[in-house]
A = this chain, B = another copy of it.
């Protein structure tokens, strides 16, 4: 890319007409465009979105990071925000609206038609992780008593309106709006116009309820080959359609969020274009909680300072003990997280996981304990120090993998995001126990340790 294309963009936004702006944006490669728009100041980005046609603005919005989209919708004139929202796919629009402050959302919805606003509000009320929150309401729906010719005429008459619909299936409903069948578009092609669609539709089609969760949706799409499934409410009324890509996109988003959480980025995504103080404060909120936990584990060392004073070599091995146990535990967390997300383990199977992890922990603890124990012996010249450090690491490794493996399941069972498991909670536990093991053992064996030292 041109090194500084986002500076050029800022100039074009400042000076340009809608046409000049659109022309400039279209001259950029896609990834340059994303980069350029994301680097604009909030004000410039807002100006850009207002200057463009709503559908072009919606296209830009789709490639922006979530926090910039939220920022834009908070500060755009409500009428512009409403027009752009209506050009987004319905599930994206609903996501955006549900992230807004309630007053602001009401303001934007107030700029829409009553019917549009009601639908948008209903969509926004769904959780992001259920079928209702992922479905599109843009779909083709016809009454079961219509004929093939009626449907074709409607398609013909509204070709433009249906353009963005990604039409492939036509859903058939009864007079109460309940889903009764699905028509393949190609079957319409091959059937004379006078036949009732009820005769050629696929009856009892697969459908899902609007409350179905993301993991179940993944399971459904894993087991079918088609790319869209209709969504119904509790009384089987057709509500929308969930596309395979929407499920995949949400799964990818959630993986990304989990990753950020495990690395201590809380409170939503962080971009380097955000103000330094905001970034700093968000990171500190997590770090300062972590400091407190660190003080707790350090207090175990402090309580045993006398032992340490007499066998100073242990101090060399405390950070190793802490780091190695944390790593072992985090490996087990990662395996549990993955098995949970693939549906290969149930949250209630903590005991099964604990046993499986115990076996691995016993072997790894033995190996790591031997290596580090020998190193401690070689370093200090006394086998007793090797024994103390090695045994402590062995037991702590076993403990770390069992805790690390089961913690995500237990958290999931109690409705807490298991991605938080691999962080401070685990390492604090393993630090406390590790320091306690090694210093208590050292205390017991103090005569031998000093005698030999």
Cβ contact within 8 Å between A344 and B252: no
A302 to B378 Cα, complex, angstroms: 13
CB of A318 closer than 8 Å to a CB of B:
yes
Distance of A30 Cα from B213 Cα, bound (Å): 13
Which listed residue (B159, B166, B222) contacts A227, Cβ 8 A?
A: B166
Closest-CB distance, A282 to chain B (whole angstroms): 9
Instruction: For residue A66, give the distance in angstroms from its CB to the closest CB of chain B.
Output: 10
- CB of A38 within 8 A of CB of B294, answer no
Q: Are A323 and B322 interface neighbours, CB within 8 A?
A: yes
Q: How far is the CB of A91 from chain B (nearest CB, A)?
A: 12
Is B168 in contact with A371, judged by CB distance below 8 angstroms?
no
CB 8 Å contact bits of A84-126 with B (1 = contact, 0 = none): 0000010000000000000000000000000000000000000
Q: Is A83 located at the chain interface by the 8 A CB criterion?
A: no
Q: In the complex, are the beta carbons of A319 and B322 less than 8 A apart? A: yes
> When the two chains form their complex, are residues A283 and B360 in contact, meaning their CB atoms are under 8 A apart?
yes
A189 touches B255 (CB 8 A): no
How would residues 423 to 451 of chain A score, 1 for a CB under 8 Å from any chain B CB and 0 otherwise? 01001000100010000000000000000
Count of residues in A whose CB is under 8 Å from the partner chain: 122
The chain B residue sitting closest to A270, CB to CB, is B335
Known: A185-B185, A284-B364, A328-B283. A34 touches B222 (CB 8 A): yes
**Which chain B residues border A164 with CB–CB below 8 Å?**
225
Asked if A260 lies at the interface with its beta carbon under 8 angstroms from chain B, I say yes
Known: A301-B319, A305-B316, A327-B287. A259 touches B260 (CB 8 A): no
A167 to B168, Cβ gap below 8 A? yes
With a CB–CB cut-off of 8 A, which chain B residues contact A345?
35, 272
Asked if A226 lies at the interface with its beta carbon under 8 angstroms from chain B, I say yes
Instruction: Write the nearest CB–CB distance from A305 to chain B, whole angstroms.
Output: 6
Q: Is the interface of A mostly helix, strand, loop or mixed?
A: helix
Write out, one digit per residue, whether chain A residues 229-253 have a CB within 8 A of any chain B CB (1) or not (0). Answer: 0000000000000011100110110
Complex contact B328–A30 (CB within 8 A): no
CB atoms of A256 and B312 under 8 A apart: no
Say whether A276 contacts B220, CB under 8 Å. Answer: no
Q: Are B301 and A323 in contact (CB under 8 A)?
A: no
Chain B residues with CB below 8 A from A33, complex form: 223
B243, B276, B301, B363: the one within 8 Å of A245 (CB): B243
Q: Does A31 contact B (CB under 8 A)?
A: yes
Partner of A317, one of B243, B287, B298, B317: B298
Cβ contacts A344-377/B at 8 Å (1 or 0 each): 1110000011001101100110011001100100
Q: A159-B190, A243-B245, A363-B277 are in contact. Are A259 and B344 (CB under 8 A)?
A: no
- Assess the B294–A319 pair: CB atoms within 8 A: yes
Task: Assess the B272–A353 pair: CB atoms within 8 A.
Answer: yes
Given A318-B315, A324-B291: A263 touches B363 (CB 8 Å cut-off): no
Partner of A276 from B319, B323, B363 at Cβ < 8 Å? B363
Q: Return chain B residues, CB-CB under 8 Å to A294.
A: 319-320, 323-324
Residues of chain B within 8 A of A34, CB atoms compared: 219, 222, 342-344
Q: Can you name 24 A-B residue pairings with CB atoms under 8 Å?
A: A30-B216, A30-B220, A31-B216, A34-B342, A34-B344, A35-B344, A63-B219, A166-B168, A244-B245, A251-B252, A255-B259, A259-B259, A259-B262, A260-B338, A263-B331, A263-B333, A270-B338, A272-B353, A273-B344, A286-B331, A290-B324, A291-B368, A291-B372, A295-B375
